Amino acid sequence: MAEGSGAAVLEVSGLRKHFGSFAAVEDVSFGLPHGRSLAIVGESGAGKTTLARMIVGLERPTSGTIAACGHDRSRPPRSASDRRRRGREVQIVFQDPYTSLDPRQNAEAAIDEVLRLHHGWPAGRRRARITELTDLVGLDARQSRALPRALSGGQRQRVAIARALAAQPAVLILDESVAALDMSIQAQVLNLLADIRDETRISYILISHDLAVVRQLADETLVLHRGAVVERGPTARVLDQPEHPCTQRLRASVPRPGWKPRLG
């Protein structure tokens, strides 16, 4: 990560994904600078998760390009080392902490595997880094050695975050990663994500339908509707003065004192 602070760590250009005649993502372009956070919001089926899956490499774009740290990742990797490098560029934490971990692997083993694969460090250095990472996400010694089934949802999500961070990615995609957490735990995890960004200059892509979470974590916001970008701008502007009817509808749907829900 030698780029200056102005350079984009992630560049997405003219990205499309069609499933048969259905356009899930239609001509999406954006750049994400180092150490910044971009939120992608929209209703169910707007294309948020398909976009994330293409960026991380789980879905191949129909057309368009994705580049992270200056390397193209729109086509499948040609070698194992190419694949590993991509893993150090972009990682993802999914919504459901109950299905995204290997049920037979504790946190330490999950992190150790990533450190071996991506950095090839000797055991002593890996050991030290595991302690650093589990401390960073607030897992104690017992929790770090417990299997996922012995952990709560919030604890599992911390394991998933620690494992994603172990690859030292330049970009971390958070796909509804805090949605399933209890309110008091969600605040802890959001503070943790802000701390990690301050310490490591990591960039986040935050996929969320919770606009309050978006306000807290994202500098810029991009609104998707039927696969296309309908509005983008600084998060405060998009939420305080939404211009597109889709954004206005999302904003009006958020419960608040005196809120009268209306049929859309």
Partner 1 sequence: MSDLPLLEAAGLTVVLKVNGARRAVLRDVSLTLRPGEAVGLVGESGSGKSMTARAVGRLLPPGAEMRGSIRFGGTDVGGLAGHDLRRYRSQVAMIFQDPRAHVNPVRRIGDFLTEALRTNHAVPRTEARQRAVDMLAQVDIEDGTRRLQQYPHQVSGGMLQRIMIAAALLTGPRLLLADEPTTSLDVTTQAEIMAILDGLRRQSGLAMLFITHDLELAAAICDRTAVMYAGQIVEVRASSLLHSDPLHPYTAALAAARPDITRTTHRLRAIPGRPLSAFEAPAAECAFAPRCPHVAGVCRAAVPGLVELAGGVSRCARAHELRGRLEVRPDG
Give me 69's structure tokens.
């740290």
Give me 61's structure tokens.
């774009």
Rounded to a whole number of angstroms, the minimum distance from the CB of residue 10 to partner 1 is 22
Question: Measured from the CB atom, is 64 or 97 closer to partner 1?
Answer: 97
Question: Measured from the CB atom, is 48 or 129 closer to partner 1?
Answer: 48
Cα gap 35→50, rounded to integer Å: 23
Rounded to a whole number of angstroms, the minimum distance from the CB of residue 251 to partner 1 is 8
Rounded to a whole number of angstroms, the minimum distance from the CB of residue 157 to partner 1 is 12
Question: Measured from the CB atom, is 67 or 228 closer to partner 1?
Answer: 228
- Residue 156 and residue 162 in contact, taking contact as beta carbons nearer than 8 Å: no
Give me 103's structure tokens.
């049920």
Output phi, psi for 126, to 5 deg: -65, -45
Question: Measured from the CB atom, is 92 or 207 closer to partner 1?
Answer: 207
Residues forming the site for partner 1 (CB under 8 A): 43-44, 152-154, 182-188, 190-191, 194, 209-213, 215-216, 235-236, 239-240, 249-250, 252-264
Cα gap 225→247, rounded to integer Å: 9
Q: What share of the chain is helix, strand, coil (3-state, %, to 5)?
A: 40, 25, 35
Can you say whether the dihedral through the CA atoms of 218, 186, 188, 170 is positive or negative?
Answer: negative
Question: Measured from the CB atom, is 164 or 206 closer to partner 1?
Answer: 206
Question: Measured from the CB atom, is 70 or 234 closer to partner 1?
Answer: 234
* Angular region, 64: left φ>0, alpha ψ -120 to 50, beta rest: left
Rounded to a whole number of angstroms, the minimum distance from the CB of residue 142 to partner 1 is 13
| Cα-based distances in Å from 74 to 63, 69, 84, 164 | 8, 13, 15, 21
Start-end of H helices in 14-106: 48-56, 80-89
Rounded to a whole number of angstroms, the minimum distance from the CB of residue 116 to partner 1 is 31
Return the closest-CA partner of residue 156 out of 147, 165, 167: 147
Give me 109's structure tokens.
């083993």
Rounded to a whole number of angstroms, the minimum distance from the CB of residue 252 to partner 1 is 7
Rounded to a whole number of angstroms, the minimum distance from the CB of residue 8 to partner 1 is 23
Question: Measured from the CB atom, is 21 or 44 closer to partner 1?
Answer: 44
